Structure 1
Amino acid sequence: MTTPNDRAVLNHILNPLLPAEVSGEDDPIVEEESVDAPANLAEVKRLEIEGVKAAEAKQLDEAVSLLTRAVDLCPTRASTFNNRAQVLRLRGNVEEALNDLNKAIELSGGKGKAACQAYVQRAMVARLQNRDADAKADYEKAAEMGSSFAKMQLIAMNPYAAMCNKMLAEVMTKLQRGEPTDQELDHAG
């Protein structure tokens, strides 16, 4: 069994171009509730959960309706904007989704789970729109917040890092199988 520190060291070896982590990436991103949370927060959360469930059931119109009601009840909750953005993106309403993602980042102050997810979603949209510099900036922010998906996307966007990781993975696979590596074959000949 490995410790978080062991995983961080291995992650740094396998992904040298990413920031090193000491705490381990399995640490959850904690979403803090606002001190001035509305009295109807339970209803807002209920609508948000129902909206997410509707989206998972591919009832996208119903999901947008539920999430919009939640936004109307509490227009200061970042996670609701983030969740609605995902549904809007799935419906093909990219500009509306970007507006909600920007709002989620603004409301969260760029911190917490909702911000992390919004950065990832916004980066995905930027990649689809061939705005790789914007995507990279958002993936970097999400990666700093602990998103392993964002870290993997940063690697995928860096051809040199991807090539190094592929070569290292091939060497490790050969070693695990007991096969000689290319370097060992060069020295043997």
Structure 2
Amino acid sequence: MSSAGDRAILNSIFNPLLPVGECVFSEDIPCDLRDSEEVSPEYEEAKAQEIEGVKAAESGNVDMAVMSFTRAIEMAPRRASGYNNRAQALRLQGKIEEALADLNMAVEIARGKGRAACQAHTQRAMIHRLHGNDDLAREDFQAAANLGSEFAKAQLVQMNPYAALCNKMLHDVFSKLQRGECGGV
């Protein structure tokens, strides 16, 4: 059994781009980050449609996934999750502008709270980063990081060359220590 300190040191060695003390062991969004939505028959039907959309996307039928997510949005238009999920499918289809519109809607509906907001900010940041809009990417990664996304935190570090360099140097020192190359340290 290892201590929290041992796990932090190992994490620094194996994930040199993360800030010291930050760990990535599981899902990047905390389990207790719940979306506050009213449960209604429409909500339940929309949720079922989203599950069908996810299954369709996982089986490679992205067109069917988009249709399922669109039905979910029609059933519960104030549910951010539907827009976020449809944006993922639209990205797979190469429809980046449509995906951004859905992500903007998800962020607006979620009002900066919950899992859907965290995921939408992260997805939108990835799109911005792929298109070279690093300032917009940083803003969205920061919003997602503030909501608890370890992935977004890691991306922010990667976008900061000085922090990445410091963490890389720390990784190198630990590697040399393990190999016995740093005598007397």
Query: Normalising to structure 1: TM-score of the pair?
Result: 0.81
Distance 2:29 2:76 in 1: 30
Report the Cα offset of residue 15 of structure 1.
1.6
Note the alpha carbon deviations across 1:138-157, whole angstroms, 9 max, x for none.
Answer: 00111111111111111111
Note the alpha carbon deviations across 1:59-86, whole angstroms, 9 max, x for none.
Answer: 1101000100110111011011101001
Note the alpha carbon deviations across 1:82-120, whole angstroms, 9 max, x for none.
Answer: 010011011111111011001101111111100000000
1:146 partner letter: G
Show structure 2 runs of 5+ residues with no match: 13-17
Instruction: Summarize the alignment of residues 11-90 of structure 1 with structure 2, pairs less than 5 Å apart.
Output: 15=19, 27-35=30-38, 37-90=39-92
Report the Cα offset of residue 29 of structure 1.
4.4
Q: Rg: which structure is higher?
A: 1
Report what 1:158 is aligned to: 160
> Which of residues 117, 120, 124 in structure 2 aligns to 1:118?
120
Partners of 1:29 and 1:145 within 8 A in 2: no
Distance 1:133 1:105 in 2: 18
- Which runs of 4 or more aligned residues in structure 1 lie more than 3 Å from their structure 2 counterparts after TM superposition? 1-4
> Which of residues 171, 174, 185 in structure 2 aligns to 1:172?
174
Distance 1:84 1:26 in 2: 19
Partners of 2:29 and 2:115 within 8 A in 1: no
Q: 1:138 to 1:65 in 2, by over 3 A?
A: same
Specify which structure has the bigger relative contact order, considering alpha-carbon pairs within 8 angstroms and separated by 6 or more residues.
Answer: 2
Identity, % of aligned positions: 49
Distance 1:3 1:68 in 2: 44
Q: 1:60 to 1:41 in 2, by over 3 A?
A: same
Note the alpha carbon deviations across 1:3-27, whole angstroms, 9 max, x for none.
Answer: 49x85xx88xx626x9x89xxx774
- Cα RMSD between the aligned structures? 2.8
Report the Cα offset of residue 125 of structure 1.
0.6
Q: 1:50 to 1:26 in 2, by over 3 A?
A: closer
1:136 partner letter: R
2:112 partner letter: G
Q: 1:34 to 1:117 in 2, by over 3 A?
A: same
